[in-house]
Amino acid sequence: MNQLSQTLERFGGVYLLPVFVGLIAFVLIGAPSSWVTLTVAGLSMGMMIFLMASGLSLIFGLMDVLNFGHSAFISFGAFVSASALAYMSGWLGADNIALNLIALFLAFGAALAFGLVAGWFFEVVIIKPVYHDHLRQILITMGALIVSEQIILAVWGGAPVTVPRPAFLEGSWLFGDVTVEIYRAFAFALGLAVYIALYFVLKRTRIGLLIRAGVENREMVEALGFKINRLFVGVFMVGSALAALGGAMWAGYETLITPALGGEMMIVVFIVVIIGGLGSVEGTLLGAIMVGLIANYIGFLAPKLALASNMLLMMAILLWRPSGLKPAVK
Amino acid sequence: MSLLSLNQMKTSIGQYHVLHDVTFEVPEGGVFVLLGRNGAGKTTTLRSIMGLWKPSPGSVHFKGEEISGLHASDIARKGIAFVPENMGVFGGLTVEENLVLATANGKFDAQRLKRIYQLFPALEQFWTKQAWSLSGGQKQMLAVARAIIEPRELILIDEPTKGLAPSIIDGMAEAFAEIGQSTTILLVEQNFNFAKRLGRGMAVIDDGHIAHTGSMADFAADTTLQEQLLSLSS
Amino acid sequence: MTHSSPRGALFIKSVVLLIGALLLFAPFLFQETRSLEVAARICIFVVLVASYDLLIGYTGIVSFAHTMFFGFGAYGAAIALKQMGPGWDAVLVGVLAGLAVSIVVAIAIGLLSLRVKAIFFAMITLAAASVVLVLASQLSDLTGGEDGITYKAPQVFKTANKLMVDDAGKVARVFGVKLNGKLAAYYFVFTSCLVLFILCLRMVASPLGTVLKAIRENEARAEAIGYRVVAYRTFVFCIAAVAASLAGSIYAIWLKYTGPDTALSFTIMIDILLMVVIGGMGTMYGAVIGAVLLVLAQYYLRDLMGAASDALHGIPLLPELFEPDRWLLWLGIIFILLVYFFPKGIAGTIWDKGARS
């Protein structure tokens, strides 16, 4: 038994979980083509959720700040990019991949820029006065969430908003009898690119080193002569921008969004960071992929269970590992 | 002029006044030992000097300059290093990364690195290992190494011998004696034999105020005083 | 809160007593159907907020599942009344079923939180509450889904029921108020809520309340005691759940309708949060003040904002911000400002002011 667990550890430990889940699902689903479609859907969903959740996890890890308003950035990202896309619908529909791409990246850029600015504002105005006070933090960020949702309602109204997609991301690829939606593949690729970039920054740069050290022991980083608050503002801005980007991608994935989107995603994001382990980017990715895969598999195998699947997954993992799958070393 | 001077330092944590009147001077050079019973306020004193708790204004001077009220990071940049009781090693980082983080610009000074290798050969051996996998003694070496990777004028060390095997404590004492030749060390210690071996000057803190200060040689000779202030059974 | 010269305390207590008196005579003072609705809603929310204050104010734990327990109680009574027909047996079965579910879930969440970090508590309760909300709208056979359930209350509470008749055989009137089932229902709500509120008050004054305060005041020392802190917290969590569940059942009997909007929605949770913060966390009396202010605002502030919105007509964006539906926006801003500048809320701030002078 011990030997088995050591072997498992050598091959990736908890990182093997999604593979196991995929294998079990493969057996249960039986039809390889459906399995591939579902797996791609699950992976791309996981990647988008990862973008939304990574910031929350790092922000908590670094500063012990639990931002209940995080989902506001997801909503704003979705709506800002939807508006930008609608504004550039001429370019989006053009039979010209270059124009398509420019429009898409401008829209995502708008969401990112909004996330950066709003994140800065949020950190400096809302969060800074209540560092080290969890109760007031939760209350204040919750209040900020209420206000943000109301602003979205005031600006965009309560009716569902249609999100146009660029022409080159419409449709699916066919490999034999396997269909893969192009947008999903794109979402997966973009999410993966962001993860790799994050990974590189955290592992290879001095800033990344500081962030990882700060997550473990904030005081010691300060005692080494670094101002962690300044670092934290930066992390908060980037985390918020990533959430906005995730929201923007999610909007394109859903193609029809309502102001309820933020609230719905918040629950998923919380579940992801809890099962992944707060403070760790790898854990968040793992949690997001697990949630994405299981949501799609269960949605196919037992649609009635789909709603509770995330909750059950979280409870199972917490009973097994109370600090989550891959928490940051504390 | 003394390197560090504490003048009627008071520190409150929340609503509790932990330090009432901490006054002593740490001269430049050598090891200065701060002794005291459990809960007397030793750790709080170090943390207050470092700016991790807020001491009363005007109570801490370093090289004649007031540092009470400064942010911990600014105090560190004045040339004070801190080795906390739990060592404060970043477990998820490798030995190398832990040390790189403590350098001023991300580059090692070859000379100082060589000295660290000589003092603590284990660190060179485990250079690329994550710090959580080190033994307690090795973590303590890493924590001390981190404090001397850049030139510092004062190192605050909190109970470095806690939980370490006697053989490792001997090695640690030698290392401190060497470091103390070029840098001043303010050492908080429960292990009186260890403290006696290293200390030049000393102070005893009791219930948040300084009960005695003087030379270690005198204090080591006066067993009555030791009994009275530390209730040492040995 | 000092004991010397408690002018602020006296003031707060008088205000609360006055509110109590107004609620007691509400049917006679405000003879409108809408006013009675408002009064009953205030009674219910006083209990909800007071029991929530046990958690957030006295124990320092933040739960987003309080509405969930409220919903368990409401749906318990509603489903029983629907399935078994109007009658006290149905009420009893419904109340007990709601209580049982609440206690089991509260213990389950409590036990789960024994194993995880305290900070997860808020997130886990939020996740649990959202799952229950979704379940309620999915299990439409039992819960009526989004539409909810309409049912009849026990015979005594029917509007047509005559409590007393005059010489002509018509329902008797006292000061012009019909002594009918509606009146009986209101006093049922008022009395049960009063009893529950007094129980909450008694609890914070009991030795248990002292322990809870000690935990809240000194986390570090409480941590040192170890698991007992968690045990106390789980216990309080269960007590609060029971109170919320009972309040839910009472509300279900009063409304004769239970749906996600009246019993489970996240908006109610936000209302509770606003009330407890505006009223004053950890004061109990603040629950009364917060509930009164918020419920009145809900019913009457919208009219005011509608007028403001019309007045600002033609200016870009401003009319949208003053839309009656946007009242939460302004409450949200007030909420944030309160948490910053008056974290003790109205009751706590006035209480301390009196003590200082």
Give pLDDT tens digits for A282-312. 999 999 999 999 999 998 888 877 777 888 8
The structure tokens listed for C293 are 């202010």
Residue A133 has pLDDT above 80, yes or no: no
Query: Which residue segments constitute the domains of chain C, with CATH numbers given?
Result: 7-356 (1.10.3470)
Compare CB distances from C127 to A151, A314, A322 and report the shortest one's residue. A314
Q: Kindly report the pTM of this predicted structure.
A: 0.84
Compare CB distances from C128 to A304, A307, A311 and report the shortest one's residue. A311
Residue B233: what pLDDT?
44
Are B162 and B88 in contact by the 8 Å Cβ rule? The answer is no
Compare CB distances from A209 to B73, B93, B146 and report the shortest one's residue. B93
Mean pLDDT over B105-132 rounds to: 91
Q: CA of A229: which chain B residue's CA is closest?
A: B73
Better pLDDT: B167 or A73:
A73
Domain count, chain B: 1
Q: Is residue B206 part of a domain?
A: yes
Distance CA B31, CA A209 (A): 32
Mean pLDDT over B115-123 rounds to: 92
C304-316 burial, b at 16+ Cβ within 10 Å, e below that, comes to ebeeebeeeeeee
Residue C226: what pLDDT?
54
Lowest mean pLDDT among B26-30, C126-130, C240-244, C275-279: C126-130
Mean pLDDT over C146-154 rounds to: 87
- For residue C127, list chain A residues with Cβ-Cβ distance below 8 A: 267, 270-271, 310-311, 314
Distance CA A116, CA B57 (A): 38
Residue C29 has pLDDT above 90, yes or no: no
Domain assignment of residue B10, given as a range: 4-87+153-230
| CA within 13 Å, CB half, C4 | 2
Mean pLDDT over C196-220 rounds to: 82
Distance CA B194, CA B197 (A): 5
- Across the interface, whether the CB atoms of A224 and B102 are under 8 A apart is answered yes
Residue B188: what pLDDT?
93
Q: Which residues pair with B210 in a beta bridge?
A: B205
Report phi then psi at C57, rounded to 5: -85, -40
Helices (H) and strands (E) in chain A, counts: 14, 4
Residue A1 has pLDDT above 60, yes or no: no
Predicted confidence (pLDDT) per residue in A222-258, tens digit: 999 999 888 899 999 999 999 999 999 999 998 899 9
Read off the pLDDT band of C58 (50, 70, 90): confident
Distance CA C290, CA C190 (A): 17
- Across the interface, whether the CB atoms of C126 and A66 are under 8 A apart is answered no
Q: Is residue B157 part of a domain?
A: yes
Residue A62 has pLDDT above 70, yes or no: yes
Domain assignment of residue A216, given as a range: 33-259
Residue C321: what pLDDT?
72
Q: Is residue A107 part of a domain?
A: yes
Mean pLDDT over A205-216 rounds to: 91
- Across the interface, whether the CB atoms of A135 and C116 are under 8 A apart is answered no
Residue A89: what pLDDT?
83
Q: How far is A204 from chain B (nearest CA, A)?
A: 10
Mean pLDDT over A153-158 rounds to: 87
Q: Is residue A213 part of a domain?
A: yes
- For residue B91, list chain A residues with Cβ-Cβ distance below 8 A: 216, 329
Read off the pLDDT band of C118 (50, 70, 90): low
Query: What secondary structure, in 3-state letters, does chain C show?
Result: CCCCCCHHHHHHHHHHHHHHHHHHCHHHHCCCHHHHHHHHHHHHHHHHHHHHHHHHCCCCCCCCCHHHHHHHHHHHHHHHHHHHCCCHHHHHHHHHHHHHHHHHHHHHHHHHHHHCCCCHHHHHHHHHHHHHHHHHHHCHHHHCHHHCEECCCCHHHCCCCECCECCCCCECEECCEECEHHHHHHHHHHHHHHHHHHHHHHHHHCHHHHHHHHHHHCHHHHHHHCHHHHHHHHHHHHHHHHHHHHHHHHHHHHHCEECHHHHCCHHHHHHHHHHHHHHCCCCCHHHHHHHHHHHHHHHHHHHHHHHHHHHCCCCCCHHHHCCHHHHHHHHHHHHHHHHHHCCCHHHHHHHHHHHHC
Residue C357 has pLDDT above 50, yes or no: no
Mean pLDDT over A105-120 rounds to: 95
Residue A75 has pLDDT above 70, yes or no: yes
Residue C354: what pLDDT?
62
Report phi then psi at A267, rounded to 5: -60, -45
The residue whose two tokens read 């006035």 is C350
Q: How far is A278 from chain B (nearest CA, A)?
A: 14
Lowest mean pLDDT among A247-251, B133-137, C215-219: C215-219
Q: Is residue A307 part of a domain?
A: no
Mean pLDDT over C307-316 rounds to: 74
Predicted confidence (pLDDT) per residue in C165-189, tens digit: 777 777 777 777 777 788 888 999 9
Lowest mean pLDDT among A189-198, A270-279, B93-102, C163-172: C163-172
All chains having 3 or more CB pairs closer than 8 angstroms to chain C:
A
Predicted confidence (pLDDT) per residue in C284-303, tens digit: 899 999 999 988 888 777 77
Q: How far is B229 from chain A (nearest CA, A)?
A: 31
The structure tokens listed for B64 are 């004649």
The structure tokens listed for C334 are 């007030």
Pick the closest to residue C123 from A287, A125, A241, A111 (CA basis). A287
Distance CA A170, CA A181 (A): 8
Residue A330: what pLDDT?
54
Pick the closest to residue C274 from C186, C198, C210, C346 (CA basis). C346
Q: Please tell me which of B13-17, B152-156, C136-140 the model is most confident about, judged by mean pLDDT.
A: B152-156
Length of chain C: 357
- Across the interface, whether the CB atoms of A228 and B71 are under 8 A apart is answered no
Q: Is residue B129 part of a domain?
A: no
Q: CA of B85: which chain A residue's CA is closest?
A: A220
DSSP state of A127: I
Q: Is residue B117 part of a domain?
A: no
Pick the closest to residue A193 from A234, A245, A247 (CA basis). A245
Q: Is residue B111 part of a domain?
A: no
Are C84 and C93 in contact by the 8 Å Cβ rule? The answer is yes
- Across the interface, whether the CB atoms of B73 and A328 are under 8 A apart is answered no
Residue C1: what pLDDT?
44
Read off the pLDDT band of C4 (50, 70, 90): very low
Distance CA A330, CA A318 (A): 18
Domain count, chain A: 1
Are B111 and B103 in contact by the 8 Å Cβ rule? The answer is no
Mean pLDDT over A109-123 rounds to: 95
Provide DSSP, B154-197.
Answer: EEEEE-TTTT--HHHHHHHHHHHHHHHHHSEEEEE-S-HHHHHH
Distance CA C81, CA C90 (A): 5
Residue C119 has pLDDT above 80, yes or no: no
Instruction: Tell me the Ramachandran region of residue A230: left when phi exceeds 0, alpha when psi lies from -120 to 50, beta otherwise.
Output: alpha
End-to-end CA distance of chain B: 36
Residue B16: what pLDDT?
76
- Across the interface, whether the CB atoms of C270 and A146 are under 8 A apart is answered yes
Residue A36 has pLDDT above 80, yes or no: yes
Check which CATH number belongs to the domain holding B44 and give it. 3.40.50.300
Q: Is residue A11 part of a domain?
A: no
Read off the pLDDT band of C86 (50, 70, 90): confident
Helices (H) and strands (E) in chain B, counts: 10, 10
Q: Which residues pair with B55 in a beta bridge?
A: B11
Are A296 and A38 in contact by the 8 Å Cβ rule? The answer is yes
Residue B34: what pLDDT?
94
Q: Is residue A188 part of a domain?
A: yes
Q: Is residue A310 part of a domain?
A: no
Distance CA A279, CA B222 (A): 52
Residue A2: what pLDDT?
67
Are C239 and C51 in contact by the 8 Å Cβ rule? The answer is yes
Q: Is residue A311 part of a domain?
A: no
Read off the pLDDT band of C325 (50, 70, 90): confident
Q: Is residue A313 part of a domain?
A: no
Q: Is residue B203 part of a domain?
A: yes
Lowest mean pLDDT among A246-260, C95-109, C112-126: C112-126
Lowest mean pLDDT among A189-203, C1-15, C96-110: C1-15
- Across the interface, whether the CB atoms of C128 and A308 are under 8 A apart is answered no
Read off the pLDDT band of A72 (50, 70, 90): very high
